[in-house]
A and B are shown apart, each in its own frame.
Chain A
Amino acid sequence: MSDTLSICDLCVSVAGKPILRGVDLEIRRGEVHALMGPNGSGKSTLGFAVLGHPGYEVTRGSLELDGEDLLVLEPHERARRGLFMAFQRPVAIPGVKMADFLRHAASNVRNPARKEGEGLIPMREFRKELREKMEQLRMDPQFARRYVNDGFSGGEMKRAEILQMAVLRPKFAILDETDSGLDVDAVRLASRSIAEIGGREMGILIITHHEQLLEHNPPQYTHVMLEGRIVETGGPELAAELHKQGYDRLRADQPAAAAR
């Protein structure tokens, strides 16, 4: 059975205000999907809702992984089922070293039944793994000793998110504007890294405004979101078109959504 993440008629409100108005999306492992759309159309909201942020209230619809209802699960349970999001703006956790944080995270994700206080992945074993992953991503090994996102530059934050994805090896990853704030070379590196990590194992949803991140991750599907709905789905050529021409055609095709 191939793993499938199914989002069906998902409606989400934030502070009582409807943001998503019925999103349908199905992602299988090994697929790359691009999600595009103007600012404020609800792309990040979809990510937060899928991961289970308590501030994002699902008012209708379903979210399932191979038929299992994810909506009843806490964020940590969803993570342990194999969901991941690379945050657009990850928060700092002062005083907590990247390596310690990741060791906890990896111990939980790899052993979903793990209870608090139970065995972590042995320190030595994990350090070695982390070092290898960092080498692969061309990161300074000192990075592991820094505090999580504390004082990171924009580029460092994004690379730290990609590192986490590499260590946690989720089944499904949502990359929320992992290219924003990066220069051309950094985006290229990120794009290549994502492709190396993802391979055929992951289903990836890439939220982006730019083509570059897709360079090494050509999407089989491109979705366009407008006012809380996916209004068009196409192949890689749709992403190319939107990059060149923007969203005006879509707005014209979707007067009802655009008028909201």
Chain B
Amino acid sequence: MATDVTSTRLDVIGEINKYDFRNEEHYVFKARKGLDAGVVREISAMKDEPAWMLDFRLKSFEVFESKPVPRWGGSIDIDFQNVYYYIKPTDRQEHSWDDVPAEIKTTFDRLGIPEAEKKYLAGVKAQYESEVVYGSLREELSRQGVIFTDTDSALRDHPDLLREYFSTIIPPADNKFAALNSAVWSGGSFIYVPPGVRIEYPLQAYFRINAANMGQFERTLIIVDEGAYVHYVEGCTAPMYSTESLHSAVVEVIAKRGSRVRYTTIQNWANNIYNLVTKRAVAHEDALVEWIDGNLGSRLTMKYPSVYMLGPGARAEILSVAFASAGQHQDAGAKVVHCAPHTSSRIVSKSISKNGGRASYRGLVKVERGAKKSKSSVVCDALILDPKSRSDTYPYIELEEQDVTVGHEASVSRIGEEQLFYLTSRGLTEAEASTMIVSGFIEPLIRELPMEYAVEMNRLIELQMEGTVG
């Protein structure tokens, strides 16, 4: 199926990810390989940035150099001097489907959607129309004072607002890869929602294949003011275009008093990618932050969406699903930190491993002194599809306060012979039955996704499951 693809490196690791179709990409500018202060300066100059940002990047670069590669989690073997750190795509901001480069459309065709699945294609069409509608939504949004743009544009057009919050949640010194992102970041989304404004439809990363949002080192900053609400959705099942093997994003979310933020990500990386992401939110009094995170593919993903509950009554909900196949290690999980009384958190983590893949849950529940009457519940379910595959759980619980309720449940299961027999005795093939069991297993995530993502995610699971059995 993938033999006609002009891919040179995808055969390197394990099986070919079925969504790995890539066409030739054209770039206007490509920084030289490797990283030093000169490259950092070049990137900043290319973007015509203010001095403070250049300064921030250079300091971050020093932090990056001073920190060792983490030894916990997955095995990281990256030659930092053999990576391009900035690639500017030719076509940065398509404004309609007509402007989308033909090769990207070809990629969509190549997603292997059979003629019979016209509904799926109709979904793409609905996307296009939603983009047309989106223009007027954008006007509506800006009339309400909402800012929704890419982070480079925000630095140019909303410098004061950006500077006030930028890197306040995840400082460069947080970890080596946050420092790297801070030094060389590009793209990502910037959202500001004014007090009391509730955006009832999900905001999607501008166009779902917009290269600006899919960069190697994207930087997303979301500020939701008091009593406001937004649901932000990023990612898609198409492969992340990449000529490089290192991707490291930073996502910062600020949920002010009484606000609610839902952040949904579905990512499907090619098998050669290190995906090392830092995502963190702060929830002020009575605010609710929800991370919904689906991870497929990649060589190694390390991603632990976090919520710091700073004000009384703040809440955190984290739902993550990881699918690890041959040559892949998903080290994913969640962190919740209760810093105020009457805060509550819920973590649901589900992982599937097959064909020798490895899925790890790594999570932290921390309750600080004084965060009385706080509640936390963690549920981790792992589904292992064959004896070659692996799942582990690393739950950390740190309690500095006694007057709290903390629960942790973990289960590991295999697809049961009895489940398979039941379904096959109703006419389903064994492969179909396995897919159905896996789809059911991740249903708690699917249920939370906007419709078109749910359809795609199901389709993706089917593709991932193809040929698993028998």
Residues on A lying within 8 angstroms of B by beta carbon are 51-55, 74-76, 78-80, 84-85, 87, 90-91, 93-96, 100-101, 104-105, 108-109, 112, 116-119, 147-148, 164, 168
Contacts and interface: CB of A to CB of B under 8 A. Distances in A.
User: Which 10 A-B residue pairs are closest in the complex by CB-CB distance?
Assistant: A95-B440, A95-B443, A108-B427, A96-B440, A105-B426, A79-B427, A75-B424, A109-B427, A76-B424, A91-B418
Chain B, interface SS category: helix
A75 B441 contact: no
A117 to B, nearest CB: 7
B417 A96 contact: no
Interface string B420-459: 0111111111111100110111111000000000000000
Chain A, interface SS category: mixed
Contacts of B426: 79, 84, 101, 104-105, 108-109, 164, 168
Given A79-B425, A79-B427, A93-B419, 12 more contacts: A74-B429, A75-B425, A94-B440, A95-B444, A96-B437, A96-B440, A101-B436, A105-B426, A105-B428, A109-B427, A116-B429, A119-B116
Contacts of A164: 426
A52 B427 CA distance: 12
A93 B436 contact: yes
A87 B436 contact: no
Interface string B386-427: 000000000000000000000000000000111101111111
Contacts of B432: 76, 104, 108, 116
A105 to B, nearest CB: 4
B440 A147 contact: yes
A91 B416 CA distance: 10
A91 B419 contact: yes
B424 A79 contact: yes
B131 interface: no
Nearest to A109: B427
Which of B422, B431, B433, B442 has the most A CB atoms < 10 Å from its CB? Answer: B422
19 contacts: A51-B421, A51-B425, A55-B417, A76-B427, A76-B433, A78-B425, A84-B426, A85-B425, A91-B416, A91-B419, A93-B422, A94-B443, A95-B441, A96-B436, A105-B426, A105-B428, A108-B432, A116-B466, A147-B443
Contacts of A87: 422
A93 B437 contact: yes
A96 B443 contact: yes
A168 B428 CA distance: 12
B368 interface: no
Contacts of A74: 424, 429-430
Nearest to B431: A116
Given A85-B425, A117-B462, A147-B440, A76 B419 contact: no
Interface string B239-253: 000000000000000
B440 A75 contact: no
A74 B430 CA distance: 9
A112 B427 CA distance: 8
A51 B427 CA distance: 11
A133 to B, nearest CB: 15
B109 to A, nearest CB: 17
Nearest to B117: A117
A192 to B, nearest CB: 24
A80 B427 contact: yes
B460 to A, nearest CB: 13
B68 interface: no
Contacts of B430: 74, 76
A87 B427 CA distance: 15
Contacts of A148: 440
A108 B425 contact: no
